[in-house]
């Protein structure tokens, strides 16, 4: 910036204040500087306006404000809801829904298993009760059968050998051998003496082989 020529300082008054000419010179200098600043500001505004108009032509007559809005819009969208985060959130929600459904299915299955266990326990209790009743019945039947066999054996022992021998001639050999094995030896011998040789031999073979299949050791 060119230096502004100023006039030499004038004379001062007796009180030390500048002379009126010096005041006028300073005021003129300030006005000149202010004018230069205003001119510079006007030139700067004009230059910026030209630049803005040139940008509008290059961008297809779109205002700068619209370009700025378009440039800011994607950034705002990305900040508000990024696609990657939305995908992750969707995946998390879907996984959570699947886990909830799976948990519900497991809970239903566990309830069904608990009900089935209760039913099985009831059935087992009923089977155990039925088994105990059956064992008792079989024990009674065995006891009754044993009593009947003992009584019938005693009857055959007290019969006359001739009469009992005639009866044993008609019996099945296995059945007859069973009674002879229970009878007293003397009564059995007298009964065998009254049988025919063929029947006595057959019954003797059954009696001898009845325990042949029992392990010896």
- pLDDT tens-digit readout, 20-49: 555 555 666 667 776 676 666 666 655 555
**Unique residue bearing structure tokens 């059954």:** 206
Annotated domain spans of the chain: 23-80, 159-210
Chain-centroid distance of CA 54 in Å reads: 67
Instruction: Say whether pTM exceeds 0.75.
Output: no
Q: Are 165 and 195 in contact (CB under 8 A)?
A: yes
pLDDT band at 136 (very low <50, low <70, confident <90, very high): confident
Residues 6 or more apart whose Cβ sits within 8 Å of residue 171: 179
Contact 152, 179 (CB under 8 A): yes
Q: Specify the DSSP class assigned to residue 159.
A: S
């Amino acid at each position: 910036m060119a230096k502004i020529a100023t006039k030499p300082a004038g004379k001062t008054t007796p009180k030390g204040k500048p002379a009126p000419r010096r005041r006028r010179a300073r005021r003129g200098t300030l006005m000149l500087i202010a004018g230069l600043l205003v001119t510079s500001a006007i030139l700067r505004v004009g230059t910026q306006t030209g630049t803005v108009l040139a940008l509008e032509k290059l961008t297809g007559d779109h205002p700068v404000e619209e370009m700025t809005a378009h440039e800011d819009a994607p950034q705002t969208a990305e900040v508000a809801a990024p696609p990657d985060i939305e995908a992750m959130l969707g995946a998390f929600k879907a996984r959570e829904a699947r886990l909830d459904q799976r948990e519900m299915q497991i809970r239903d299955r566990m309830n069904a298993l608990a009900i089935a266990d209760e039913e099985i326990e009831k059935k087992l209790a009923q089977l155990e009760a039925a088994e105990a009743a059956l064992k008792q019945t079989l024990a009674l039947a065995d006891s009754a059968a044993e009593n009947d066999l003992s009584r019938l054996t005693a009857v055959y022992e007290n019969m006359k050998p001739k009469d009992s021998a005639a009866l044993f001639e008609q019996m099945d050999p296995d059945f007859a051998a069973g009674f002879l094995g229970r009878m007293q030896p003397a009564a059995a011998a007298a009964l065998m003496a009254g049988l025919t040789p063929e029947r006595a031999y057959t019954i003797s073979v059954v009696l001898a082989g009845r325990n042949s299949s029992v392990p010896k050791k």
